Structure 1
Amino acid sequence: MIPLFHDFKDKEVVIIGGGSVALRKAKRFVQEASVTVVAESFAEGFDEVPCTCITKRVTELNIHEIITDAYLVIAATDSEEVNENIVTAANQRDILVNRVDQPNDIVVPSHIDGDHVSVAIATGGASPATTKHLRLELTPVIEEADAMAEIQMELREALKKEISDQQQRKQLLWKVMDSERVWEQLPNNQDKGLEIAREIIDIK
Structure 2
Amino acid sequence: MAERKTAAPSARFAALDRQLLESYRRAWESGAAAAGPYLACRIGCTECCIGVFEISGLDAWRLRQGLSALALREPQLAAQVKKRAYEQWRLLQADFPGDRTTGALAADEQAREAFFQKFADLPCPALDLSSGRCLLYEARPLSCRSFGLPCRWGAEVLPPCRLNFQGADPTIVAAATIECDPQDLEGDILQALGNPPDTVVAAALAVGSRAPGERE
TM over 0.5: no
Larger strand fraction of residues: 1
Q: Say which one has the larger Rg.
A: 1
TM class by shorter chain equals under 0.3
TM-score by length of 2: 0.22
Q: TM-score, normalised by structure 1?
A: 0.23
Higher relative contact order (CA 8 A, sep 6+): 2
